[in-house]
Amino acid sequence: MKKISSILIFVFVTSSLWLTNAHAGPFYFKGSAGISKLKEFCASPAPGFTCTATSPTVTLDGGYQFSDNFGLELGYGKYGSPKSSGTLLGANLDVTEDISGLRFAGTAILPISNSFALTGRLGVSNASLTVNSTLTPGAAIPGYKASSTSLSYGAGIRYNINKNYGLHLQYENLGKVGDDTIGTDTLSLLTVGISYSLGKPRPAATTNKPAAQGEAAAVALTPKSQPPQRVVIFLTAPPSQDKQQLLSAVAEACQCSPDFVRMYSNTAVVYQISLPLGQTFSSFSSKLLPGNPSLGMKNIMQTSN
């Protein structure tokens, strides 16, 4: 088991380092609790015996989300202790199977809204099973340990509480546990957990391509705008002291973030603006000129780029 665990950790670490260089995405931790079940553990109990195939389970996972939809995850879990009890030759026999192990998987996310997403996972599970038997009265019974590695898979749903925290409901099938000596059985988990992301969340998959540097503010303020156009504003005096006030007045009139282009003859300023859909140059200029007499605006006209 130690050799397999070392291999899983090595694969996880080296993959994460490569992804860190290739992509920008957050690391996260997830803690979960729920129930585990051994499918065939109580299928045919011996006469006079009772058994419990389900038991509490806790898991701790660490992952790296290297894109909006895919990631890697490594986790450790205490998968519970299914128990069987009964009478054998006049003595009480209790048999408990303690199960724990590592899980390594690739993960997938399919958003269905801003708050909810479907999740899936596919990987390998390495489980250690320890059989502890007690005969009362009677001689001590040696324990037995078995280790197994199986294909694992799972599916669930995630709810985003905010940009860092998320709630998870998840089902996992960890494959076969045990060995040829004591037999094998299928282990599954049903858990509820909470995750915390250490990095800045990625933008949604539908986020548009970032705007050019000079257009970023205008795009942010006017997501639905007309193509940029240039305007010339004629003043009675140079706007040396009131340049910021002039810029604010233009921004308010065009409902955008204007870009300064250049000046003509110290009293004519050229701006590039992006008017919202439905707004005309005439409505822009009529709103700008009468509303700002203190800036000494005389006229405004359009010009080609």
Q: Are residues 65 and 157 in the same domain?
A: yes
In a domain, residue 208? The reply is no
In a domain, residue 175? The reply is yes
pLDDT of residue 201: 47
Q: Are residues 184 and 241 in the same domain?
A: no
Domains contained in the chain, number: 2
Q: In which domain, by residue range, is 256 found?
A: 213-303
Q: Are residues 138 and 250 in the same domain?
A: no
pLDDT of residue 249: 85
Q: Are residues 49 and 189 in the same domain?
A: yes
Contacts of 46 (CB under 8 A, 6+ apart): 86
Q: Are residues 274 and 139 in the same domain?
A: no
If pLDDT is split at 50, 70 and 90, which confidence band does 243 have?
confident
Last residue of one domain, picked from the residues 169, 197, 225: 197
Write out the two tokens for 67.
């894109």
CA–CA distance, 48 with 108 (Å, rounded to integer):
46
Last residue of one domain, picked from the residues 163, 197, 231: 197
pLDDT digit string, tens, across residues 283-305: 888 888 876 667 778 888 887 65
In a domain, residue 203? The reply is no
- 77: domain CATH number is 2.40.160.20
Residue 101 has pLDDT above 60, yes or no: yes
Is the pTM value of this prediction over 0.75? no
- Of 252 and 103, the structure prediction assigns the larger pLDDT to 103
Last residue of one domain, picked from the residues 142, 169, 197: 197
pLDDT digit string, tens, across residues 245-278: 888 888 888 888 888 877 777 788 888 888 888 8
Q: Are residues 224 and 186 in the same domain?
A: no
- 286: domain CATH number is 3.30.70.250
Mean pLDDT of 14-41: 72
Q: Are residues 117 and 150 in the same domain?
A: yes
In a domain, residue 118? The reply is yes
Q: Are residues 284 and 153 in the same domain?
A: no
Q: Are residues 134 and 249 in the same domain?
A: no
Q: Are residues 36 and 113 in the same domain?
A: yes
Write out the two tokens for 58.
């806790």
257 phi, psi to nearest 5 deg: -110, 100
In a domain, residue 258? The reply is yes
pLDDT digit string, tens, across residues 69-95: 899 999 999 999 999 998 877 788 898
35 phi, psi to nearest 5 deg: -125, 150
In a domain, residue 207? The reply is no
Q: Are residues 162 and 277 in the same domain?
A: no
In a domain, residue 188? The reply is yes
In a domain, residue 38? The reply is yes
- Of 249 and 225, the structure prediction assigns the larger pLDDT to 249
3-class SS letters over the chain: CHHHHHHHHHHHHHHHHHHHHHCCCCEEEEEEEEEEEECCCCCCCCCCEEEECEEEEEEEEEEEECCCCEEEEEEEEECCCCEEEEEECCEEEEEEEEEEEEEEEEEEEEECCCCEEEEEEEEEEEEEEEEEEEEECCCCCCCEEEEEEEEEEEEEEEEECCCCEEEEEEEEEEEEEEECCCEEEEEEEEEEEEEEECCCCCCCCCCCCCCCHHHHHHHHHCCCECCCEEEEEEECCCCCCCHHHHHHHHHHHHCCCCEEEEEECCCEEEEEECCECCCCHHHHHHHHCCCCHHHCEEEEEEECC
Q: Are residues 182 and 288 in the same domain?
A: no
